[in-house]
Amino acid sequence: MTVLFSLFAGTGVNAEDGYRLWLRYDPLPAQSVGGYRTHVTSLVVPGDSATLQAVRAELAAGCGGLLGAPVPAETGVDRDGALIAGTPKSSAVIAGLKMDRQLTALGPEGFVIRSVMVGHHAATVIASEGEVGALYGVFYFLRLMQTLQPIDALNVSDRPRLRLRVLDHWDNLDGTIERGYAGHSLWDWQALPGTVDPRLRDYARANASLGINGSVLNNVNANAQSLSHAYLVKTAAIADTFRPYGVRVFLSARFSAPMEMGGLKTADPLDPAVAAWWKAKADEIYTLIPDFGGFLVKANSEGQPGPLTYKRTHADGANMLAAALAPHGGVVMWRAFVYDAKPGSDRIAQAYDSLKPFDGKFAPNVLLQVKNGPLDFQPREPFHPLFGAMPKTPLMPEVEITQEYLGHSNHLVFLAPMWREFLDSDTEAKGPGSTVAKVVDGRLTGQRLTGVAGVANTGSDRNWTGHDFAQANWYAFGRLAWDPDLPARQIAEEWVRMTFTRDPAAVATIADLMLGSREAAVDYMTPLGLAHQMDTDHYGPDPWGVPGQRPDWNPPYFNHADATGLGFDRTGSGSDAVSQYHPPVRDRFAALSTCPEAYLLWFHHVPWDYQMHSGRTLWDELCRHYQRGVDWTRAARRTWDSLGGTVDPERHAAVAAKLVIQEHDAVRWHDACLLYFQTFAQRPFPSGVDEPRQTLAEIKATRLLSEDSERQP
């Protein structure tokens, strides 16, 4: 196997094309360097393992780049300012500091960073029980320097709150990516295993910088060939590349693989021959990849095969696979995204109804992977009612980093506020304060197998994510996966300082732009609790839908617009999906007077003249939300233009071009949705709301394409 050399840490000719992400180790401002240099005069990182080599290389690149001069590597501490990194096993200095008890308590991924005395010399130690934990500590230390934090009196103790912190790649074997908006797959299956693209090492390093420790390589709509021996050998080459950075590989498993690959006549999970096939397959995988993470499974959902085909349960299917993996320490991540086209039913209620009865019946190494909301990664949804409803089952949130419903790679939408809103939602499962975050990390239920998954937004585009600001969502996912309590502003400001500029005024301006972007997208796409008003590509507006389309894939199913009002009645007089929440939450959502207006049309069919908290009617308020979204895009363009002197010209121009598209698209959303809803409301647009530029018929005659580069504001 050949691993090509990578220049990710270097500057190179493409320094400002976005490739370096947040790991840009360019020299710090001159006024800051002096203080740092007194505390970093040498690097002491003994050991020759691949991970310790990565630790040493990262410190050399990071400290040398930030300080503007190489920092020598030494074998001992002979002067002040030594930076020592490793484990008690790899470093005699760390062993001599007698931190074993603390390091054991933090676990192999936790670390301490401490200012210490080694003999008569002041030093900084980065230590962990595990080598990967030491690498995480190194990235933490370098982040302090990148963001100009003090390092003279450090006493840091940190560890991840969640055990599995995984990126789900919906990548296909032909190189395409379902819901991918940044080029082709990073995995070159044709070249593997003989040649490994250097980007794979760079990808693993970027993930390690955030503490992301897992990667599902293939689409949840899985091809059974991903489990063939030929592809497992290729996967093993990827796993070898990721391993020094603590990133374990997982695979999406097609439930019918025993039939498609093994020649069996059934995939019934209770058939002994099927169970034996999966056990043999697991043994084969672990022979090639000893640290293989396990399987992600989409079953009996959107046409995918599963146990229900054989009149078995989701627990039957998951537990059969779990038994095959258990001897090797692997896990099953069983997706809860299940629903059927049932006339008269409410799509969002079906996952709860299908899975809640099996609480406590899944094997110990099964996690139920549940989307943050009960529908499908919408700009805004209430939290999924399964959180707080299955205390005996590990629940692993699935969020979408790729912007499937949020403007693809064209719109600037920072997702940390969305995820913060989700994690802070109170399930009231055990009274007030029973937040989703406490369910997820086990504080509320006592679960020890914990995790979170993010549908990745990476691709072969030079800047990885298509939009330079989309990198911030990868970054934010990793930071929240490590610590689900981190504030969105802290994450935004960190990323800006590491990615664009350290100028305080510019940092505040860009962070404000990011923090307002998600609410703006909700305003111009799906305000006041509307959902799934997108076209079949999930990009442009299509509130009128497609005649003959499956109802629960069609926008009118979700908006229920008619002459009396707008919204989906999910109270007792409608689908009663609101009853899936615990009583305090249920009662708050079910009453029109107490339902948060952000979710109003999600839970209620509201009359057009209903008086909102503002004193305006629903119609007027709806119009003003769409207008507010458009106004934000115009202000965002002006704000970004004003930063031309503080952001490099290449990326400044690239983002400016994207903002032109975003404004155009927001106007299209505004015009299309308001004109369509006006056909039912039969009311004029209120003062201050722009008149649409086209008629509804003209808008319906064309589609808004994400790849259209001919838009004008």
- Whether the per-residue pLDDT at 413 is higher than 60: the answer is yes
Q: How high is the pLDDT of residue 1?
A: 52
pLDDT tens digits along 511-548: 999 999 999 999 999 999 999 999 999 999 999 999 99
Q: How high is the pLDDT of residue 11?
A: 38
Distance from C-alpha of 272 to C-alpha of 290, rounded to nearest angstrom? 25
- Whether the per-residue pLDDT at 14 is higher than 80: the answer is no
- Kindly provide the b/e burial profile for residues 174-183, where b requires at least 16 CB atoms within 10 angstroms of the residue's own CB: ebebebbbbb
**CATH number, domain 164-489, options 3.60.20.10, 3.30.450.20, 3.20.20.80, 3.40.50.620:** 3.20.20.80
Report the SS3 class of residue 43: strand
**CATH number, domain 24-158, options 2.60.40.10, 3.30.379.10, 3.55.50.30, 3.90.180.10:** 3.30.379.10
Q: How high is the pLDDT of residue 177?
A: 98
Q: How high is the pLDDT of residue 344?
A: 85
Identical fold for domains 24-158 and 164-489, yes or no, is no
- Whether the per-residue pLDDT at 222 is higher than 60: the answer is yes
Q: How high is the pLDDT of residue 709?
A: 43
Q: How high is the pLDDT of residue 15?
A: 60
Q: How high is the pLDDT of residue 31?
A: 87
Express as a percent the part of the chain with pLDDT over 90: 95
pLDDT tens digits along 585-631: 999 999 999 999 999 999 999 999 999 999 999 999 999 999 999 99
Distance from C-alpha of 19 to C-alpha of 294, rounded to nearest angstrom? 30
Q: How high is the pLDDT of residue 342?
A: 85
- Whether the per-residue pLDDT at 5 is higher than 80: the answer is no
Active site residue 404: yes
Report the SS3 class of residue 433: coil
pLDDT tens digits along 245-269: 999 999 999 999 999 999 999 999 9
Q: How high is the pLDDT of residue 34?
A: 84
Active site residue 493: no
> Across all residues in the chain, what is the average pLDDT?
96
Report the SS3 class of residue 623: helix
571-to-172, 527, 562, 568, 581 alpha-carbon distances in Å: 40, 20, 18, 9, 11
Active site residue 631: no
Burial tier of 515 (Cβ tally within 10 Å: 0-12, 13-18, 19+): middle
pLDDT tens digits along 151-189: 999 999 999 999 999 999 999 999 999 999 999 999 999
Confidence of residue 9 (pLDDT cuts 50, 70, 90): very low
**CATH number, domain 523-568+605-700, options 3.20.20.70, 1.20.900.10, 3.90.1330.10, 3.30.450.20:** 3.90.1330.10
CB atoms within 10 A of CB 453: 28
CB atoms within 10 A of CB 653: 12
Give a three-class secondary structure readout of 257-296: HHHHCCCCCCCCCCCHHHHHHHHHHHHHHHHHCCCCCEEE
DSSP 592: T
- Inter-residue long-range contacts of 356-362, CB under 8 Å, 24+ positions, other chains counted: 356/386, 356/389, 356/390, 356/580, 358/313, 358/314, 358/315, 358/393, 359/389, 359/390, 359/391, 359/392, 359/393, 360/392, 360/393, 361/313, 361/315, 362/315, 362/318, 362/319, 362/322, 362/334, 362/393
* Structural domain boundaries in the chain: 24-158, 164-489, 523-568+605-700
Q: How high is the pLDDT of residue 154?
A: 98
- Whether the per-residue pLDDT at 3 is higher than 80: the answer is no
Which whole number is the average pLDDT over 442-463? 98
Which whole number is the average pLDDT over 301-321? 97
Confidence of residue 687 (pLDDT cuts 50, 70, 90): very high
Residues in the chain, total: 713
With a CB cutoff of 8 Å and minimum separation 6, the contacts of 125 are 84, 85, 93, 94, 97, 112, 113, 114, 116
User: What are the φ/ψ torsions at residue 156 (nearest 5 degrees)?
Assistant: -100, 135
Confidence of residue 708 (pLDDT cuts 50, 70, 90): low
From 197, 404, 421, 665, the catalytic residue: 404
- Whether the per-residue pLDDT at 10 is higher than 50: the answer is no
Q: How high is the pLDDT of residue 35?
A: 86
Q: How high is the pLDDT of residue 8?
A: 55
Q: How high is the pLDDT of residue 458?
A: 98
pLDDT tens digits along 466-518: 999 999 999 999 999 999 999 999 999 999 999 999 999 999 999 999 999 99
From 302, 587, 641, 698, the catalytic residue: 302
From 268, 376, 523, 631, the catalytic residue: 376
Report the SS3 class of residue 368: strand
Which whole number is the average pLDDT over 124-137? 98
Is residue 608 within 8 A of residue 683, CB to CB? The reply is yes
DSSP 126: E
